[in-house]
A and B are shown apart, each in its own frame.
Chain A
């Protein structure tokens, strides 16, 4: 498992980096409007019809996929490091694959979610 982790480390690191970069770019507006401003009644959230129209376009699907999947990889990778930093380094070969599996499963469902729009 350790060898496999070493082999895929460049991919994991790239997904993690994009999770921080693109994830942060997208999540700021997402959380601001759908999580805070709309629930507080400051703005009206996007209507279902408009959201579906935009989301089902090619660019819309890609943006939504990035919005879901990249933060998952960022989160999994960071939680792996948190685990190592709290003294779990020797169990990394067990914990890391579980975290990445969680991100991979979420990403697969995300692909399905944007395909069925």
Chain B
């Protein structure tokens, strides 16, 4: 136990039944050397203050539940080691999201963004079961695979300066997922999504701050996806000028 070190956690608290605005509360936590930020939050909840609310599940950077603001940076709290922080660690809910309670943010608005981008394989004509599976080469898979590794942790939305100011912007993860399907060799819905990308919440609202990609814990690189989607949307728009019938489809 000699390795145990005391750290102060300044945690944002908000009780919708009692508080008008969020406030902070400090906790002294005896920290083991191998702990992540999430371990300390769980310690607070289990041993110091059972009223603390925070989301978590898998503890292995796969479920995407435990995204929070740690010392001002959007982080998966199960992934960042406490050893990389000093004696005081500030934990707050993700910015750019309404706060339900303490460190728990409202994610319904986030889920609604995905409905807009049609994140599924669109076919002009459904393939019959007798025709067998749709085949895809490793090269074709390589074109979109990294865009499909998103775990919906919402860190990219918390880091995006455009999300902070333009509520209708579809945002990094949703556009990346839509773009992932448009790049899929089995999909025939790119034209449909290009029109969505040029519509309300347009991809052009993105000012390429690139911070979504900087904070992404899974190296999805949503900024690349959004900006590729811009170019695709422009090409599709220009093609629609030359071939008007194509734009009508």
B27 in the interface (beta carbon within 8 A): no
Asked if A14 and B234 sit within 8 Å, CB to CB, the answer is yes
Asked if A87 and B200 sit within 8 Å, CB to CB, the answer is no
Asked if A10 and B166 sit within 8 Å, CB to CB, the answer is no
A88 CA / B200 CA spacing, docked (Å): 18
A56 in the interface (beta carbon within 8 A): no
**What would 5 more interface pairs be, CB under 8 Å, given A6-B198, A12-B204, A13-B204?**
A9-B198, A10-B198, A84-B166, A85-B161, A85-B207
A88 CA / B234 CA spacing, docked (Å): 26
Number of A-B contacts (CB under 8 A): 33
Chain B residue numbers with a CB within 8 Å of A81 are 207
Chain B residue numbers with a CB within 8 Å of A10 are 198, 204, 233-234, 237-238
A6 CA / B166 CA spacing, docked (Å): 14
Grouping DSSP codes into helix (H, G, I), strand (E, B) and loop, the A interface class, with mixed when no group exceeds half, is helix
Which residues of B from 193 to 211 have beta carbons under 8 Å from A?
198-200, 202, 204, 207
- Residue on B with the closest CB to A82? B207
Asked if B166 and A89 sit within 8 Å, CB to CB, the answer is yes
Asked if A87 and B165 sit within 8 Å, CB to CB, the answer is yes
Known interface pairs A10-B237, A13-B230; A89-B165 also in contact (CB < 8 Å): yes
Asked if B165 and A85 sit within 8 Å, CB to CB, the answer is yes
B156 in the interface (beta carbon within 8 A): no
Which residues of B from 47 to 86 have beta carbons under 8 Å from A?
none
Asked if B234 and A6 sit within 8 Å, CB to CB, the answer is no
**Could you give, for residues 84-98 of chain A, a 1 whenever the CB lies within 8 Å of some chain B CB and a 0 otherwise?**
110111001000000
**Could you give, for residues 76-107 of chain B, a 1 whenever the CB lies within 8 Å of some chain A CB and a 0 otherwise?**
00000000000000000000000000000000
Chain B residue numbers with a CB within 8 Å of A12 are 204
B162 in the interface (beta carbon within 8 A): yes
**Could you give, for residues 144-187 of chain B, a 1 whenever the CB lies within 8 Å of some chain A CB and a 0 otherwise?**
00000000000000000110111000000000000000000000
B164 to chain A, nearest CB (A): 8
**Could you give, for residues 211-240 of chain B, a 1 whenever the CB lies within 8 Å of some chain A CB and a 0 otherwise?**
000000000000000000010011001100
Top 4 A-B residue pairs of the complex, sorted by shortest distance between their CB atoms: A89-B165, A81-B207, A9-B204, A10-B237
**Could you give, for residues 1-32 of chain A, a 1 whenever the CB lies within 8 Å of some chain B CB and a 0 otherwise?**
00000100110111000000000000000000
Known interface pairs A13-B234, A14-B234, A81-B207; A6-B165 also in contact (CB < 8 Å): no
Known interface pairs A6-B200, A10-B204; A84-B234 also in contact (CB < 8 Å): no
Asked if B233 and A84 sit within 8 Å, CB to CB, the answer is no
- Residue on B with the closest CB to A16? B204
Chain B residue numbers with a CB within 8 Å of A9 are 198, 202, 204
